[in-house]
Structure 1
């Protein structure tokens, strides 16, 4: 056996002479194959331990990021509240998926380490002979594990980058909205509460015109047959509105008024979309009847989205086939992420009563 005794590694000095002698005897019996095999086995163990440590660190980082996203609070009084929730949910899902991958890699690495420990008790040299088959070696499986860890780390970083970019885009849209709120195109529900019923009808017509509709009637009367405002949407659908203004937005709109609208909107006015809009709320019987007869209700909350935030009516009603144009959809996030950001669809003609 060849040993370079000029090495800085020294024989350990044990207190027991018998132990010292046994150690020297075993070393003297070792061949070059034994020594190289032992070293290679030790190196393999170190690689497995290193990658196990890497998996542990990545698992801790993923857990930290998950706790951070769970602590995020989406703004409640914003047209983008749902979009914030979607962005956070997308990040949470991505992090959970990578956590599963990393924990699986940790388990695989631990299993490999235990297999190496078992092999330490046997003759190591045959494992490293030139003709030895290494396909079944536990270390051979670590290549796949390492690749999984690398992908998980990259996917985590990509998800975090997308989340930061999406939040940035939302912040830009919030800034656009804030500017819109300070223009005459935005009208508060509180201002609507102070209107007369006739002014409220004109305001609804102005809101529809702001959405790109062509107005056929913008005020009701004694013979309006339940249609206070009639408009034609950009996609040629005919919208019939019944406007119910309540002083200070307090008194609810009941079922009889919705039944009257149902009896005339389609037969008399050829409506494709029937809408009852109020600055108050609707009773449960009115809501149930409207649901059964495909009548869309705009209550105070929806009116706030339409009038104050500038969200188009069909998006507020959830029947816009192209999706919401003010609230940031995931498709918009993808477009804005690629540098195609545009301001929300808020810049319409004034919705003030009487606006043309």
Structure 2
């Protein structure tokens, strides 16, 4: 065996002279195969230990990010609550998967290192000779292990980057929303609750005008035939609206009012879009009738989206493509 005894590695001065003699004898009897096998074996163990530590790092980072995410408050009374929730859900899923992968990799690396340690007492040279049973190569498990860890880390960092981008975009939109809420264009739902029915009708007409509609009627009367507001959208759709104000936002609109609107909106007013708006709520029979007769209902929750938050009426009613540049929330809060 070729050993350069001039190496800077000093032979230990063991307290037992017998131990020192036995070690020197065994080293002198070792072959080149023994030396290479021992070094390969040691290196495999070191790689297993390194990847165990890498898995620990990925697992720790993923768990820290999950803890941080758990402490982030989701704004509940906001037009962006769904987007906050979706971003949170997407990141949580990515971090959960990264944690699972890292934990499994950590245990596999630990198991591989343990098996390598147990093999140390065997004939190491025999393990690496040509024709040896590859199934005995414990370190073979480390190849796919590193790939899984690398992919888990990449996916986690990509998810964190996407989440930061979404949060940044939402922060800009929320800042724009704050400016809108402090402007005269925003009508607080609490203010609407205090209005009289005629003032409510005029407010609905003003909100339609804010959306860019041409107002043909801005208030009802004894002979309005169920149409309190009539407006035409920039696309040419004729929108007929019946307004039902409920003092303090309490009270429901029943089916008879919706049936009256259904009987006149299209035959008498030639409506393309029929809408009943209240600052209260609708009864189930009213909702069922409206659904069966293609009448759109807008209650106080949706009225807040339109009147207070500034979302376009057709978007609130689900009749517009909200992905259109003209209808994004960033646009409607400018």
TM-score range, shorter chain: 0.7 to 0.9
Bigger Cα displacement from structure 2, 157-166 vs 107-116: 107-116
Q: What is the CA-CA distance between 1:75 and the residue it aligns to?
A: 0.9
Aligned to 1:154: 154
Given that 1:91 and 1:159 are in contact with CA atoms closer than 8 Å, whether structure 2 keeps it comes out as yes
Given that 2:244 and 2:278 are in contact with CA atoms closer than 8 Å, whether structure 1 keeps it comes out as yes
Aligned to 2:189: 189
Aligned to 2:120: 120
Given that 1:217 and 1:228 are in contact with CA atoms closer than 8 Å, whether structure 2 keeps it comes out as yes
Given that 2:306 and 2:312 are in contact with CA atoms closer than 8 Å, whether structure 1 keeps it comes out as yes
Change (3 A) 1:229 1:39: same
Q: What is the CA-CA distance between 1:202 and the residue it aligns to?
A: 2.0
C-alpha separation in 2, matches of 1:79 and 1:163: 18
C-alpha separation in 1, matches of 2:131 and 2:272: 78
Change (3 A) 1:283 1:39: same
User: Is residue 2:230 matched to residue 1:243?
Assistant: no
Given that 1:177 and 1:344 are in contact with CA atoms closer than 8 Å, whether structure 2 keeps it comes out as no
Q: What is the CA-CA distance between 1:236 and the residue it aligns to?
A: 3.5
Change (3 A) 1:116 1:277: same
Aligned to 2:261: 261
Aligned to 1:346: 333
Aligned to 1:226: 226
The higher relative CO (CA closer than 8 Å, separation ≥ 6) is in: 1
1:250-303 deviation digits (Å, cap 9, x = unpaired): 333222112211222233333332211112222333233333433222222221
C-alpha separation in 2, matches of 1:326 and 1:116: 62
Given that 1:55 and 1:102 are in contact with CA atoms closer than 8 Å, whether structure 2 keeps it comes out as yes
Given that 1:315 and 1:323 are in contact with CA atoms closer than 8 Å, whether structure 2 keeps it comes out as no
Q: CA RMSD in A?
A: 2.7
User: Is residue 2:163 matched to residue 1:176?
Assistant: no
Q: What is the CA-CA distance between 1:209 and the residue it aligns to?
A: 2.1
Per the alignment, in what secondary structure is the counterpart of residue 344 of structure 1?
helix
C-alpha separation in 1, matches of 2:104 and 2:236: 55
Per the alignment, in what secondary structure is the counterpart of residue 184 of structure 2?
coil
Change (3 A) 1:192 1:15: same
Given that 1:306 and 1:312 are in contact with CA atoms closer than 8 Å, whether structure 2 keeps it comes out as yes
Q: Unpaired runs of 5+ in structure 1?
A: 329-342, 348-356
Question: Could you tell me the TM-score, scaled by structure 2's length?
Answer: 0.87
Question: Could you tell me the TM-score, scaled by structure 1's length?
Answer: 0.82
Aligned to 1:78: 78
Given that 1:126 and 1:132 are in contact with CA atoms closer than 8 Å, whether structure 2 keeps it comes out as no
C-alpha separation in 2, matches of 1:241 and 1:11: 95
C-alpha separation in 2, matches of 1:146 and 1:134: 23
User: Whose helix proportion is higher, 1 or 2?
Assistant: 2
Q: What is the CA-CA distance between 1:67 and the residue it aligns to?
A: 1.9
C-alpha separation in 2, matches of 1:248 and 1:292: 29
1:247-326 to 2 correspondences below 5 Å = 247-323=247-323
Q: What is the CA-CA distance between 1:118 and the residue it aligns to?
A: 4.6
C-alpha separation in 2, matches of 1:84 and 1:318: 20
Per the alignment, in what secondary structure is the counterpart of residue 221 of structure 1?
coil
User: Is residue 2:35 matched to residue 1:35?
Assistant: yes
Q: What is the CA-CA distance between 1:116 and the residue it aligns to?
A: 2.7
Q: What is the CA-CA distance between 1:185 and the residue it aligns to?
A: 0.9
Q: What is the CA-CA distance between 1:228 and the residue it aligns to?
A: 1.3
User: Is residue 2:140 matched to residue 1:144?
Assistant: no
Per the alignment, in what secondary structure is the counterpart of residue 215 of structure 1?
strand
Q: What is the CA-CA distance between 1:111 and the residue it aligns to?
A: 4.3
C-alpha separation in 2, matches of 1:113 and 1:318: 59
Aligned to 2:65: 65
